[in-house]
Amino acid sequence: MASNYFKVGLIVPSSNTVMEPDFHRELGARCVTSTSRIYLEQVTRDAEQVMIDEELPKAVRLIKTTEPHVIVFGCTSAGSLGGLESDAAIARRIEQLSGVHSLTVVGSVVQQLKAIRPRSVAVFTPYKEDLTLSVAQCVVEAGYELRKTAGMGILANRDIGRVSPDEIVDFVETRIDDADVDCIFLSCTNWQAIDAIARLEARFRLPVISSNHATIEAVRTQLSNFQSAQTVNARAR
């Protein structure tokens, strides 16, 4: 493989069928994405905590063998379980185990919010109430007023992956209830939310963030840094 490829190590729940295709579609021309999986079927707090505690170290050990330039922890709700510091601790743990810079979805979403600078946010998820509120609390902790939250109440992660972009658009349209917000956040890496963004932005004339889109943008920043370093090194030869 050519040395100028930027290598991404993606760690996703085993039942996630959306994030990996999104990465290949959006980054494939410039990045090589390799994936490692951590066991998860039911999207619950307890199951996700086990996934982090027991499955994550194994996945890091495996993905490290691909020699990635960055490792992405690809689960929004699991990252949100203990708030922003807990999410940052997941990134630090991955870095300690791998020696590779790590990105998280929650951290990437916060960076997108900082760039947009909304005053108030609406959060929509496919989750049950517990995890919807967990993600929403991270938005509040990051300094943004929460005006609306709604979750679809889906428990099985495979079923989340089957929700179509049309269904996501319909869900937001029927649940936003004329909330006065400056930004919409679509949470979940296994939601086909990227393909709902354009329609929702046109409908509400607001910026819309999704878990996967925010994380892909964070990877693009890392890619840009990598390419700049390569250019400098080439000129120095």
Same domain assignment for residues 115 and 184: yes
Q: Are 209 and 147 in contact (CB under 8 A)?
A: no
Maximum pairwise Cα distance, the chain: 60
Using DSSP bridges, classify how beta strands 31-38 and 183-186 pair: parallel, antiparallel or unpaired: unpaired
Alpha carbon distance 154, 5 (integer Å): 38
In this prediction, residues 159-180 reach a mean pLDDT of 96
User: What pLDDT is recorded for position 178?
Assistant: 85
pLDDT of residue 194: 98
Number of structural domains in the chain: 2
Looking at residues 44-51, what average pLDDT do you find? 97
Q: Are residues 86 and 121 in the same domain?
A: no
Determine the pLDDT at residue 114: 97
User: Is 226 found in the same domain as 168?
Assistant: no
Average pLDDT on 187-215 reads 97
CA-CA distance, 130 to 136, in Å (whole number)? 10
pLDDT band at 26 (very low <50, low <70, confident <90, very high): very high
Q: Please report, rounded to a whole number, the percentage of residues in the chain having pLDDT higher than 70.
A: 96
**Residue-averaged pLDDT of the chain:** 95
pLDDT band at 74 (very low <50, low <70, confident <90, very high): very high
Average pLDDT over residues 111-140: 97
CATH number of the domain bearing residue 227: 3.40.50.12500
pLDDT at 231: 66
Same domain, 117 and 83: no
* Res 2 pLDDT > 60: no
Domain ranges, residue 217:
6-105+213-236
Q: Which of 140-149, 172-181, 197-206 has the lowest mean pLDDT?
A: 172-181
Q: Is residue 1 a part of any domain in this protein?
A: no
Contact of 207 with 116, CB cutoff 8 Å: yes
Residue 34 — very low, low, confident or very high, per pLDDT cuts 50/70/90?
Answer: very high
47, part of any domain: yes
Determine, yes or no, domain membership for 46: yes
DSSP states of 78-147 = HHHTTHHHHHHHHHHHHHHHHSS-EEEHHHHHHHHHHHH--SEEEEEESS-HHHHHHHHHHHHHTT-EEE
Report DSSP letters for 23-71, one per residue: HHHHHTTTEEEEEEEE--SB--HHHHHHIIIIIHHHHHHHHHTT--SEE
For residues 86 and 59, the answer to whether their CB atoms sit within 8 Å is no
Q: Shortest CA distance to 143 belongs to which of 166, 178, 111?
A: 111
Residue 71 pLDDT > 60, yes or no? yes
Q: Residue 225 has what pLDDT?
A: 86
Whether 113 maps to a domain, the answer reads: yes
* 84 in the same domain as 60: yes
pLDDT band at 1 (very low <50, low <70, confident <90, very high): very low
Mark whether 11 and 46 lie in a shared domain: yes
- pLDDT-wise least confident of 19-33, 56-70, 77-91, 125-139: 19-33
Residues 196 and 123 in one domain: yes
Asked if residue 186 is part of any domain, the answer here is yes
**224 plus 201 within the same structural domain:** no
Least confident of 3-17, 102-116, 129-143, 216-230: 216-230
Residue 210 pLDDT: 98
Share of the chain above pLDDT 90, in %: 89
Same domain, 63 and 115: no
Q: Same domain, yes or no, for 190 and 229?
A: no
Number of neighbours of residue 214 by Cβ within 10 angstroms: 24
Assess whether 39 and 96 both reside in one domain: yes
Beta-sheet strand order (sheet of 70-73) = 31-38, 6-13, 70-73, 102-104
In a domain, 76, yes or no: yes
* Residues 6+ positions from 71 with CB-CB distance below 8 Å: 8, 9, 10, 11, 60, 63, 64, 94, 95, 98, 100, 101, 102, 103
The CATH number covering residue 202 comes to 3.40.50.1860
Do residue 197 and residue 159 come from a single domain?
Answer: yes
